[in-house]
Amino acid sequence: MTVLVVALLRQKRAPGQPLDLHQPFEDRAGRIVLGLGVATTVFVLALSIISYAGQRTVFAKGANPLTLKIIGHQWWWEVRYEADSPHLSFVTANEIRVPVGRSVNVELESADVIHSFWVPSLTGKMDLVTGQQNAMGLTWRAS
């Protein structure tokens, strides 16, 4: 601010004479700045709308999600398909079947040692520590 004030005070102009501006250049520069500002605003809004739509799809809660409880044992994985009624629930080992297009809630825990649950085509890696429960949600979409 100090440098600006000093520059304005030291500027030599004839009394009553305005600053020497080239009006056509100033008009053109103003239109360019305004156009780029509008283009930036439209671009950011478009990206925000696309991001919002993508996140709604990724994080959508299904009406009837499948619940998997996966328990890591020292040499194998216990997979429990849980349902509201007991006759629809069942337990398998080392194998996961996920329906296409349906939301799945995965509850993870370890029975004895530290495990890493990782299915690269479904989701990222999650570490399991004995006594700690982790959860993740996913939806498999056919491509």
**Residue type for 132, please?**
Q
What pLDDT is stored for residue 141 in this prediction?
73
Both tokens assigned to 17: 């004479």
Query: How far apart are alpha carbons 115 and 75 in whole angstroms?
Result: 10
Residue ranges for the chain with pLDDT beneath 70: 11-20, 57-63, 142-143
What pLDDT is stored for residue 42 in this prediction?
97
Q: What is the torsional sign of CA 58, 61, 64, 66?
A: positive
What pLDDT is stored for residue 76 in this prediction?
93
What pLDDT is stored for residue 25 in this prediction?
84
**Residue type for 71, please?**
I
Both tokens assigned to 15: 């009394």
- Chain centroid to Cα 88, Å, comes to 34
> What is the pTM for the complete model shown?
0.54
**What SS3 state is found at 58?**
helix
The strand pairing partners of 93, in sequence order, are 78
